[in-house]
Amino acid sequence: MTVTSALYFALIPLYGPVVTAWLAIPGPIVLSGIIKRRHLYRVEFNILQLVLSIGLAGFVYQYLGGELMPSNYGQTILPFTCAAITFFLANTILVSIAISLMEKISPFRIWWVNYSWTSVDLLALGPLGFLLTLVYTQIGPWAVFICLAPIILARYSFKLYMDLRQSYLNSITALSAALDASDPYTHGHSNRVALNAEKVAREIGLSEGKIERVKFAGQLHDIGKIGLDIAILNKPGALNDGDWEEMKKHPAKGAEIVKGLKPPIYDIVMAHQEHYDGTGYPAKLKEEQIPIEARIIHVCDAFEAMTSDRPYRPALPISKAVDELKKEAGRQFDPKVVEAFLKVMEKGELTIESEKKRKFTEIKKSLTKDLIAPTR
C-alpha cells in the first residue's frame, strides 16, 4: 500500500509528465538505494520503469485532451482515468517482466498472482489523485497535506498489521525449523521438502497461487509433530500400534496450528499423509479427493525421509528410493506427481543434502529412459 501513485496521478495534470518524472526520481534513490541498500542495477531499473510509466500515463492524458492546470474537471475525468490505468499497467507489467527474466517464470503468471488484485488499489488511488488535483487548484497546496494525512495514517496502520502477520508467520516457521533442528536426523527436512515441492508443482504446471501454497505448506507440513512425544519421534525401533495412533494425529494437529494463515494451507497440511489409493490417514481420502498440493508434498516428503538416516534405519540409496516411488505410483503416490518428481530429478534441480549429491549423480543419467507413465 502506497500513496505515491496518487501523487503522480495528481502531478501529471498539474505540471505534465516531464516535471512529474523528475520529481519522482528521488523516491527510488532514497527508498531502494539508501534505505534498503539495493544493488545499483535495481535502483536504476526502479527509476527507469517509474519514469517510463509516468511518461506513458502523461502521453495518454494529453492525447485524450487533458489540459495542464485544468479548469473544466468534467472534461478531465476520462483522460485522467485512462492515464491512471496506463500508469498502473505499465508499472506492474515492467516489474513482472523483470522478475520473469530473473526467475524464469511466465510474466503473465507473475502479474496475475501479484498484481491482478491491486486493481482495487487503483480504484482507490485514481480518485484520490483526482481529488488532490482538484484541492490543489481550488484551495491551495496546503490543503493537499490535509487530504493526505488520513491516507498516510491508514497506510501506517496497514503496515503495522502486515508486520504483525509476518511476525506470526515467522514464529510458526521458526517452530518448524526448531523441530527439525532438535533432531539431527531431520535437520533441514522441511526446507528441502518445501523447495522440492515447489519445483515439482512448477513442473506439473500449477498456477503461481498453488505453487505458493505448496512451498508454504511444505515448510510447515510437520508442524503438528511439535505436540507429539519426543520419545516416539526418536524411537530407535519400529513403532507399536499405540505409537502409530499417536503419530497419525500430527496432520490434524498441524492443520489446527496453521488454521487461518494466508495463503490458506489448512487442507494441505491435513491431507499430506493421505495415500492415492485411500489407505492413508487421517481421513482415508483417495485420488482427486486429496488436494494436488498435498499429493506433491507427500511424494517429496517420502523421498526425503527414505534418503535420510533415521533412528530405526540408515538412509536408503537414492536409486532404491526412486524404485520405491515407482513401485508405489498408483498406490501410495499419485503417478502424475511421481513422474513430475523424476523429471525434476533428471534435470538436476532437486535440493538434496550434500552427502547425497555424490550418490545422486550415479542414477541421474538413467532416469530419462526410465520415467514412469501414469497408470490411471
Looking at the fold, whether 172 and 80 belong to one and the same domain comes out as no
Domain at 220, CATH number = 1.10.3210.10
Quick check: is 312 in a domain? yes
Residue 284: predicted pLDDT: 93
Looking at the fold, whether 202 and 249 belong to one and the same domain comes out as yes
Helix (H) or strand (E) holding 191: helix 189-204
Looking at the fold, whether 132 and 22 belong to one and the same domain comes out as yes
| Contacts with 231 (C-beta within 8 Å, 6 or more apart), sequence order | none
Cell 520503469, located at residue: 49
Q: What is the pTM of this model?
A: 0.63
Highest mean pLDDT among 167-171, 246-250, 270-274: 270-274
Q: Does position 108 have pLDDT exceeding 80, yes or no? A: yes
pLDDT tens per residue, range 36-54: 777 788 888 888 998 999 9
Phi, psi of 329 (to 5 degrees): -65, 125
Q: What's the length of the chain?
A: 376
Cα separation, 376 vs 369, whole angstroms = 20
Looking at the fold, whether 362 and 281 belong to one and the same domain comes out as yes
Looking at the fold, whether 128 and 219 belong to one and the same domain comes out as no
Looking at the fold, whether 194 and 322 belong to one and the same domain comes out as yes
Expressed as residue numbers, the domain containing 100 is: 4-138
Quick check: is 145 in a domain? no
- In 3D space, the residue among 81, 102, 340 whose CA is nearest the CA of residue 211 turns out to be 340
Quick check: is 16 in a domain? yes
Q: What angle do CA 302, 331, 256 make, to 5 degrees?
A: 55
Quick check: is 87 in a domain? yes
Give the CA-trace dihedral at 33, 34, 38, 43, to 10 degrees.
-10
Q: What domain count does the chain have? A: 2
Quick check: is 36 in a domain? yes
Q: Does position 243 have pLDDT exceeding 50, yes or no? A: yes
Cα separation, 368 vs 366, whole angstroms = 6
Cα separation, 117 vs 122, whole angstroms = 10
Residue 372: pLDDT band (50, 70, 90) is: very low
Cα separation, 263 vs 206, whole angstroms = 15
- In 3D space, the residue among 349, 185, 169, 194 whose CA is nearest the CA of residue 261 turns out to be 169
Looking at the fold, whether 268 and 125 belong to one and the same domain comes out as no
Residue 309: pLDDT band (50, 70, 90) is: confident
pLDDT tens per residue, range 169-197: 677 677 767 766 666 556 678 888 999 99
More confident residue, 245 or 294: 294
pLDDT tens per residue, range 117-149: 667 766 677 777 777 777 877 787 777 777 777
Helices and strands in the chain: count of H runs, count of E runs: 17, 0
Q: Does position 251 have pLDDT exceeding 60, yes or no? A: yes
Quick check: is 331 in a domain? yes
Looking at the fold, whether 48 and 122 belong to one and the same domain comes out as yes
| Contacts with 148 (C-beta within 8 Å, 6 or more apart), sequence order | 3, 132
More confident residue, 214 or 114: 214
Q: What is the DSSP letter of 310?
A: B
Average predicted confidence (pLDDT) for the chain? 80
Looking at the fold, whether 83 and 189 belong to one and the same domain comes out as no
Quick check: is 94 in a domain? yes
Residue 356: predicted pLDDT: 52
